[in-house]
Amino acid sequence: MEPTLNLWLTIIACGVVSFLIRFSFIAIHGRVPLPNWFTRALMFVPVALLPAFTLPEILIQNGGVNFSPFNARLIAGIVAVAVAWRTKNVLATIAVGMLVLFAAQFLVK
């Protein structure tokens, strides 16, 4: 098989498997009773995924972890967490986080 075709088949297969895993929960919703412990555990999935997606983007720079006070993303992330904790407002958190990020990037350079 040609390497390009092999790559495309792998990408398509991964997409199909990913779709089927996600669709399985939608398809069985309401048809199969799920245990209470499982339903409660599903409530924590978004809370667990958010740090998993954002922390590497915030902390890893140039192949290493950057805890420096000159890390603009880290500064903006800390401010955004404080705003989220204080206001419980998603739009305020995003707006303040982005403003602090732009300001910190401007000042740090």
- Regarding pTM above 0.85, the answer is no
Domain range summary for the chain, segments of one domain joined by +: 1-33, 43-108
Q: What is the tens place of the pLDDT at every residue in 18-73?
A: 999 989 888 887 788 888 998 899 899 988 998 899 999 999 988 899 999 899 99
Residue 64 bridge partners (DSSP): 61
Structural contact between residues 65 and 89, judged by C-beta atoms closer than 8 angstroms: no
3-state helix, strand, coil in the chain (%, to 5): 75, 5, 20
Residue 60 bridge partners (DSSP): 65
Alpha-carbon gap, residue 109 to 102, rounded angstroms: 11
Rg (CA), the chain: 20
Q: What separation in angstroms does the CA of 103 have from each of 34, 46, 61, 85, 98?
A: 48, 29, 19, 21, 9
Q: Is the pLDDT of residue 1 over 80?
A: no
State in Å, rounded, how far the first CA of the chain is from the last one: 48
Please report the pLDDT score of residue 30 as a whole number: 79
